[in-house]
Amino acid sequence: MKLYKYFIVFLFFGLMAAACSTKKGEDGDSATSAAKDEQIRQYNLDIQKEQTSNRFPCDTIALKEYILNNYERGSYLASFDRNYKDMLPSSAVIYFRDVNNYVLAVIVKSKQSERNIEVKNVTGFESSYINLDSTKLGTTFFWLTLFECKEGEFSRVWESEVPIHGGFNRMTIKNWPAKNQKYVELNFEDGIISGHRNYNFFLIDGWQKPPHLMETYLALVLKRTLANIKNDKYPDYFEYRFATGRSERDSLTTIRVLDSVPFYWSTKRQLYISDRSSRWVRKY
């Protein structure tokens, strides 16, 4: 009986040691993989430097190198989704001047406790399903980031997180006619809802201050549209409710708008609220 107990204890500690060894090995493999990834990225950047003749201060190559040298491991410059005109996806960057020289970029960061993500796995329609199980390919954090270019050097003005993991499509600077106000629209394809989501970053107090986030979307039974309800400097929206049923003329299922609920920004609560119900609140 004593021998049996000793065997159980020995087996327990043996399994614990094996688990610790495996975990240590996994961490070591992860660190090695991350280091190798950085070496490959630096090598590719060096090749691009040699082959690019029309470079300029704070160009895309310089931005990629800045991210590589100044951000945590597993951070990359995102790419727009491919279209029929371009064979290769272009980097998610917009250069513009508004008093200062600005560089607007979408940066993706990997969750540090997981494997490094790959940019191709978070862009386009197919990647929108990564929200169902993103851990196998790494968890992605999107950040809209504004840089200022001063004497050929990057200065980070602000960065604002985008609350989604995949399906990135495009970035556009737009104007809200109701208030003649600039905002940045990040468009994401979403196969789960059979539609798309727009994360809109409104420059309430100009480009130098962090933006205000407000989401709109359009899908089969989901819809939210930009509106000017409270008539203050913050954007509002209508959130629509849908009903499904059988058509009287045939047996096909129909979808119709049942109601539209107005939401406006509460500066006191820092939430979107509705007069319909005190329990109906939204973060953005």
Q: What is the pLDDT of residues 84-128, one digit of tens each?
A: 565 677 999 999 999 899 999 999 999 988 889 999 999 999 888
Q: Is 123 contained in some domain?
A: yes
Same domain, 79 and 213: yes
Between 133 and 237, the more confident residue is 237
Residue 32 makes CB contacts below 8 A (sequence gap 6+) with none
Q: Is 69 contained in some domain?
A: no
pLDDT at 135: 64
Q: Which stretch of 44-58, 85-99, 206-220 has the lowest confidence by average pLDDT?
A: 85-99
Q: How far is CA 249 from CA 190, 246, 256, in A?
A: 32, 9, 15
pLDDT at 253: 73
Q: How many CB atoms lie within 10 A of CB 284?
A: 14
Q: Is 30 contained in some domain?
A: no
Same domain, 145 and 262: no
Same domain, 230 and 212: no
Q: Is 106 contained in some domain?
A: yes
Same domain, 116 and 225: no
Residue ending a domain, choose from 198, 219, 240? 219
Stretch 126-154: mean pLDDT, rounded?
87
Split into its structural domains, the chain has a count of 2
Q: Which amino acid is at 203?
A: L
Same domain, 171 and 224: no
Q: Which of 157, 161, 166 is closest to 135 using CA atoms?
A: 166
Angle between helices 2-51 and 60-70 (to 10 degrees): 150
Residue ending a domain, choose from 186, 219, 252? 219
Stretch 128-136: mean pLDDT, rounded?
74
Same domain, 155 and 241: no
Same domain, 102 and 214: yes
Same domain, 187 and 226: no
Residue ending a domain, choose from 168, 189, 219? 219
Same domain, 142 and 207: yes
Q: Is 15 contained in some domain?
A: no
What's the predicted TM-score (pTM) here?
A: 0.84
Q: Is 10 contained in some domain?
A: no
The residue segments making up the domain with residue 85 are 74-219
Residue holding tokens 């270019």?
Answer: 149
